[in-house]
């Protein structure tokens, strides 16, 4: 799988990561959360995204990483309007992940003016590596751009898939200009884009790009924009990870193949 640098910093990761929203708890409910993380590591996935918003996901991830913490880059979040609780979330996360969170993101920009200096102080103490911010809604992108322009964050996490392309207008160009790392949420549209599958004949032009399934076409579509660094496809099923990870190797789509994926998704 190809590696890309997360922004200007020294952290370089394989381009397919793993999201945990709802899916890590689902894996745990099936008794498979350790198997899921083991499978991710074995197919070369090295970045796992989580949040205090995701129920027991942070704790389950820590449990699944017992003895393997050093093999993954943890992207966690602070998600609270309270500065005091934010400090506690950072401390808890550092505890769970061997004393340090590699990337700490401000989830949905909640109280970012308060949390940003707190995260900078946590970074100075070695509890946090990179600092980032996330938002799922285009309505919040002007505020996200304002935070990006402060020059005080290293990464952004935003939705990007054939049906959600608002980041093309300001966020991706600005991230590129500032040298920020870009993590993609919802590469499969929360699963909605996978429900209707194009035929193998429709996908045939993508085969020279190593793509044999629609899921791979969607993941590769996002990663073929060079301003993007990591795609956070989420699954509860370990057996799906080889398929997802295989979309993280070149050759990347050109303009024609990206346009074909938009057509097949019904986005044009
Ligand atoms: N505001 C924020 O910060 C924010 C918001 C949204 C998301 N995120 C992050 O981004 C991650 C990804 O977004 P997402 O979870 O919303 O959606 P997603 O990755 O676009 O889609 C996940 C869905 O796709 C299905 N799936 C995955 N691989 C598959 C495969 N090979 N074949 C068929 N189906 C497959 C999964 O079902 P199965 O489990 O059955 O495979 C799941 O229902 C999240 O987990 C989270 O870490 C952050």
Q: Find the domain containing 233 and state its range.
A: 3-192+227-250
Cβ–ligand 1 distance for 188 under 6 Å, the answer: yes
- Per-residue pLDDT averaged across 10-28, rounded? 95
Q: Is residue 90 one of the residues assigned to a domain?
A: yes
CATH (domain of 119): 3.20.20.100
Residues 6+ apart with CB under 8 A from 2: 14, 15, 248, 249, 250
The closest alpha carbon to 148, from 121, 114, 177, 120, belongs to: 177
Q: What is the pLDDT of residue 268?
A: 80
Cβ–ligand 1 distance for 21 under 6 Å, the answer: yes
Q: What is the pLDDT of residue 63?
A: 98
Cβ–ligand 1 distance for 235 under 6 Å, the answer: yes
Q: Is residue 169 one of the residues assigned to a domain?
A: yes
Q: Is residue 38 one of the residues assigned to a domain?
A: yes
Least confident of 6-15, 102-111, 147-156, 173-182: 6-15
Determine the distance separating the centroid of ligand 1 and the alpha carbon of 235, expressed in angstroms: 6
Q: Is residue 178 one of the residues assigned to a domain?
A: yes
Read off the pLDDT of residues 193-213 as tens digits, 9 standing for 90 and up: 999 899 999 999 999 999 999
Atom of ligand 1 nearest to the CA of 23: 39
Cβ–ligand 1 distance for 240 under 6 Å, the answer: yes
Q: What is the pLDDT of residue 193?
A: 97
pLDDT at 190 over 80: yes
Supply the mean pLDDT for the chain. Answer: 97
Least confident of 10-14, 30-34, 147-151, 241-245: 10-14
Cβ–ligand 1 distance for 53 under 6 Å, the answer: no
pLDDT at 246 over 90: yes
Report how many domains make up the chain.
Answer: 1
pTM score of the predicted model: 0.97
pLDDT at 58 over 80: yes
Q: Is residue 80 one of the residues assigned to a domain?
A: yes
Q: What is the pLDDT of residue 131?
A: 97
pLDDT at 36 over 90: yes
Cβ–ligand 1 distance for 189 under 6 Å, the answer: yes
Determine the distance separating the centroid of ligand 1 and the alpha carbon of 216, expressed in angstroms: 13
| Portion of the chain with pLDDT greater than 70, in percent | 100
Q: Beta strands of the chain (E only): which ranges?
A: 3-5, 12-14, 18-19, 47-49, 73-78, 101-106, 128-134, 155-159, 181-185, 230-231
Q: Is residue 122 one of the residues assigned to a domain?
A: yes
SS3 238: helix
Q: Is residue 173 one of the residues assigned to a domain?
A: yes
| Portion of the chain with pLDDT greater than 90, in percent | 97
- Per-residue pLDDT averaged across 2-10, rounded? 86
Determine the distance separating the centroid of ligand 1 and the alpha carbon of 192, expressed in angstroms: 10
What the block records as the tokens of 156 is 């952004």
**Strand-pair partners of 36:** none
Q: Is residue 212 one of the residues assigned to a domain?
A: no
Q: Whats the size of the chain, residue-wise? A: 268
Pocket mutation for ligand 1, best pick of 153, 188, 248 (most atoms within 8 Å of C-beta): 188
Q: If pLDDT is split at 50, 70 and 90, which confidence band does 10 have? A: confident
Atom of ligand 1 nearest to the CA of 237: 41
Cβ–ligand 1 distance for 244 under 6 Å, the answer: yes
Q: What is the pLDDT of residue 50?
A: 98
pLDDT at 9 over 80: no
């Amino acid at each position: 799988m190809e590696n890309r640098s997360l922004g200007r910093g020294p952290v370089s990761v394989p381009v397919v990561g793993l999201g945990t929203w709802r899916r890590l708890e689902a894996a745990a409910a099936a008794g498979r959360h350790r198997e899921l993380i083991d499978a991710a590591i074995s197919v070369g996935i090295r970045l796992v995204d989580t949040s205090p918003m995701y129920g027991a996901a942070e704790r389950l991830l820590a449990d699944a990483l017992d003895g393997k913490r050093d093999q993954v880059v943890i992207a966690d979040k602070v998600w609270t309007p309270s500065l005091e609780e934010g400090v506690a979330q950072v401390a808890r996360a550092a505890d769970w992940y061997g004393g340090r969170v590699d990337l700490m993101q401000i989830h949905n920009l909640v109280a970012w003016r308060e949390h940003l200096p707190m995260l900078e102080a946590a970074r100075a103490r070695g509890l946090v590596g990179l600092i980032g911010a996330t938002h799922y809604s285009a309505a919040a992108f002007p505020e996200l751009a304002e935070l990006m322009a402060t020059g005080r964050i290293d990464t952004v996490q935003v939705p990007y898939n054939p049906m959600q392309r608002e980041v093309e207008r300001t966020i991706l160009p600005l991230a590129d200009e500032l040298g920020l790392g870009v993590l993609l949420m919802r590469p499969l549209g929360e699963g909605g884009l996978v429900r209707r599958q194009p035929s193998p004949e429709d996908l045939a032009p993508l085969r020279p790009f190593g793509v044999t399934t629609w899921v791979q076409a969607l993941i590769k579509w996002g990663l073929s924009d060079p301003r993007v660094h990591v795609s956070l496809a989420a699954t509860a099923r370990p057996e799906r990870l080889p398929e997802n990870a295989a979309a993280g190797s070149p050759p990347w789509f050109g303009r024609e193949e990206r346009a074909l994926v938009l057509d097949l998704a019904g986005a044009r």
